[in-house]
Amino acid sequence: MDFKTLKSELEKVYANISQQIDNNSMPEVQSLQEFTRLSRMMPMLAEDEWIGEAEDFAHLATQLLQAAKKNDFKTVVQLADSLDDAQRFCHKTFR
């Protein structure tokens, strides 16, 4: 999978997850698993200058999945906010 395709797939899956959170619902584990899988691919395709941010993003995605599995909605919301912040920072810094 190339980077552009990966990014597109990540955005689709995350939009679904975000919508569920915005509706005060726990995201589906299947969606979170797919998001985590895709996020873990990011560092493999990342350029050297932003590989650290890609690794951090993948780690946050893993934590999000774990929090959802524990039915810890408060932490899910906090981690989703952290993922949003990480994405904005990366896009702002490395575009």
Residue 92 has pLDDT above 80, yes or no: no
Query: Where are the domains positioned within the chain?
Result: 3-94
- pLDDT for 67 equals 98
pTM: 0.92
Among residues 2, 70, 68, 4, which one has the least CA distance to residue 34? 68
C-alpha separations of 13 from 20, 49, 94 in Å: 11, 25, 22
6-50 pLDDT per residue, tens:
999 999 999 999 999 999 999 999 999 999 999 999 999 988 988
